[in-house]
Amino acid sequence: MNKRQFIKTIAATGLAVPAFGEGFEKALAKVQIQTPEETAENEEFWAEVRRGYKIKPDYVNLENGYYCFTPQETLQNYIRHVQDINFQGSYYMRTRQFDDKAEIRKKLAALAGCSHEELIVTRNTTESLDTVIAGIDWKAGDEAVMAEQDYGAMLDMFKLQARRYGIINKIVSVPNHPASDEEVVSIYEKAITPKTRLLMVCHMINITGHILPIRKICDMAHSKGVEVMVDGAHAFAHINYKISDLGCDYYGSSLHKWLSVPLGTGILYVKKDKIAKLWQMFGDMGYKDDDIRKLNHTGTNPVHTDLTIADAINFYEKIGRERKEARLRYLQEYWTKQVRNLPNIVLNTPADSHRACGIANVGIATMKPTDLAKTLLEQYKVWTVAIDSPTVKGCRITPNIYTTTAELDTFVLALKTLAT
């Protein structure tokens, strides 16, 4: 059977597309005896992983923070689901849709470390967190705490509640280089008053990659009777944790980011005892008040994308959660260590290993971030994104597991040249 016939057969039978290939299986067998940190430096293994991706040759892609495009294996499975749903028509929607979705929720909940009764599949972090912000029965004078480094869409959603209900938003600022967890916790703590109802905090700040001490912030807020909503857009399937260990009340993430599901999937976690009091955005009287599915009335939606979540999880588990986190941290530190203390270079991401993983932000003191991004692309063929905010001026650098150290060498050389 040639390759084309094989793919046709797969599509017709609905069988899952097999993993990378023999090379990957052999490489995987070899790293079983290594620690994740050892494998992080094993270029042979990651070269095999890279073969599983179709990589655009035009530039070095260091902008995986927007979303992580899917490896070929997941993409082929996605195409298979699109074909299958198109073939089945409404028969699928009326017979299997809900059972499949229930299975996906269970699989995702196992990965997220929570009960499936506390988790729904959404389209993205924005939908997840806005569902919570809009679902609270705000009263005039209620207060919410958030940071200027939070994502704009959520900050806007809080502004909308301020206009609509007269709530007061207290905005703190998180330092790029805190001396301790306690420094960060106390910044949030000082903004809390007896009127505070909700605190929003990023698990990983999107413009710098800074990982915040979520458990400590949750414990502090709860001791004052304040609920915590965590923006985990960049953390899920990037670093390892269980949502239940974080101690938060609400958690949202996008699966098209680090889990590499095709565009348009996310999760919302709501702690079991917080579900009943949350109002849904779209009326759904089919579920009890304490059933999280009441928050998930999407209407007809692209179910083939949701089906691909299972394939993306399989891919992620095959790479290995610890291996992925260790590799991403290794890649970030590989380049940041080479430039952190050079004159004219400003690292906007903390140096402590536990305060960052794959994402970091770097600026050149004498260059505007947009000029830096433009020059990197036009002169060095390195694709990044410029961040020009009051506290962060630089380019966000986001490698992925297919990134090579040779690509990072190109970037480091460009930075050093531009800084002098």
Ligand X SMILES: Cc1ncc(COP(=O)(O)O)c(C=O)c1O
Give the binding site for ligand X (CB under 6 A): 124-126, 151, 153, 202, 206, 231, 233-234, 254
Residue 299's region, left for phi above 0, alpha for psi from -120 to 50, else beta, is left
Taking the complex as a whole, how short is the minimal distance between the CB of residue 256 and ligand X, in angstroms?
Answer: 6
Residue 221 dihedral angles phi and psi, to the nearest 5°: -65, -45
User: In angstroms, what CA-CA distances link 182 with 199, 216, 247?
Assistant: 17, 8, 17
Report, in this order, helix, strand and coil percent for the chain, each rounded to 5. Answer: 50, 15, 35
Tell me whether strands 385-388 and 393-397 are parallel, antiparallel or unpaired: antiparallel
Minimum separation from the CB atom of position 277 to ligand X (A): 24
Helix (H, G, I), strand (E, B) or coil at 227: strand
| DSSP H or E segment with residue 199 | strand 196-202
Q: How far is the CB of 218 from ligand X (least distance, A)?
A: 17
Find the shortest distance in angstroms from Cβ 365 to ligand X. 25
Half-sphere exposure of 34 (CA within 13 A, CB side): 18
| Exposed/middle/buried for residue 270 (C-beta within 10 Å: 0-12, 13-18, 19+) | buried
Residue 62 Cα to chain centre, angstroms: 15
Q: In the complex with ligand X, which residue's Cβ is closer, 204 or 367?
A: 204
CB of 123 to ligand X, least distance (A): 7
Give the list of residues 6+ apart from residue 42 with CB closer than 8 angstroms, or none: 31, 34
Closer to ligand X at the Cβ: 80 or 355? 355
> In this structure, are residues 234 and 356 in contact, taking their beta carbons and an 8 Å threshold?
no
Question: Looking at beta carbons only, is 78 or 151 nearer to ligand X?
Answer: 151
- Our CA angle for 23, 26, 29, nearest 5°, is 150
Quick check: 167 and 133 in contact, CB under 8 A?
no
Distance separating alpha carbons of residues 218 and 189, to the nearest angstrom: 10
Q: 38: part of which helix (H) or strand (E)? A: helix 36-40
- C-beta of 13: minimal distance to ligand X in Å? 33
Q: Whose Cβ is closer to ligand X: residue 76's or residue 348's? A: 348
Closer to ligand X by CB, 40 or 248: give it.
248
Tokens representing residue 117 in the block: 């009764």
Of 268 and 278, CB closest to ligand X: 268
Q: Which is nearer to ligand X, 39 or 126 (CB)?
A: 126
Q: Which sign, positive or negative, has the C-alpha torsion 84, 85, 90, 93?
A: positive
Location of structure tokens 């899952």: 16
Write down the least CB distance from residue 241 to ligand X, Å: 16
Output 196 or 254, the one with its CB closest to ligand X.
254
The least distance separating ligand X from the CB of residue 146, rounded to whole angstroms, comes to 12
Choice between 255 and 347, CB closer to ligand X: 255
Minimal distance, residue 305 CB to ligand X, in Å: 13
